[in-house]
Copies of this chain bind each other. A is one copy, B any other.
Amino acid sequence: MSQTIKVLLAEDQSMVREALAALLGLEDDIEVVAQVARGDEVLAAAREHAVDVALLDIEMPGATGIEAAALLHTELPAVKLVILTTFGRPGYLRSAMESGADAFLVKDAPAAKLAEAVRKVLAGERVIDPTLAAAALADGANPLTDREREVLRAAEGGSTNAELAAALHLSQGTVRNYLSTAIQKLAVRNRAEAARLAREKGWL
């Protein structure tokens, strides 16, 4: 009785994207009507093909799946949003939910969960892994300020304080202060550990 569900697939790795499309193509009530490889192509494609559900990977060039979700949520609020990601990072789940996502799946869940999630969000349900939800709640919100995040992100690659200062238009001392407070907030002992932990939590 119902129409087939029109799905948009956003994922940058062609092989994975096309494989997921093949997988969803096996379901007779689901049709993948659009595929994009970049976050900044999501909105136009969703609009053009009048999709019911957008399936968004997080790590993408152009814009992240989370950013794309936020945009879709305000521009096309009827579109249901499923975030699909390699990394089950608590911070990702949190920001996905804040940007209006209806489902959050990790790629190491069984493939059957995917079609299931598509149907559930369309029925108005939300789909999230309870373990991950618990982790996200236990961690609390991202404790870093905007600047601390920026500096930490820039410091990940191993740049020196002088380079960071130049790149961010700050004094060297200020860079050190930000890194120092970030290190304390995260309860670690140096910038590398701070970066690792923040990355792992999905806070960068």
B-side contacts of A193, CB under 8 Å: 157-159
- Which residues of the partner chain B approach A86 to less than 8 Å between Cβ atoms? 13
Residues of A28-68 contacting chain B, CB below 8 A: none
Contact A16 B16 (CB under 8 A): yes
**Chain B residues with CB below 8 A from A196, complex form:** 157-158
Q: Are A110 and B15 in contact (CB under 8 A)?
A: yes
Stretch at the interface among A140-148, A168-176, A184-192: A184-192
**A160 CB within 8 Å of chain B:** yes
Interface residues of A (CB under 8 A from B): 12-20, 22-23, 25-26, 84, 86, 105, 107-111, 113-114, 156-160, 188-196
- 4 nearest CB pairs, A to B: A158-B192, A18-B111, A158-B193, A19-B19
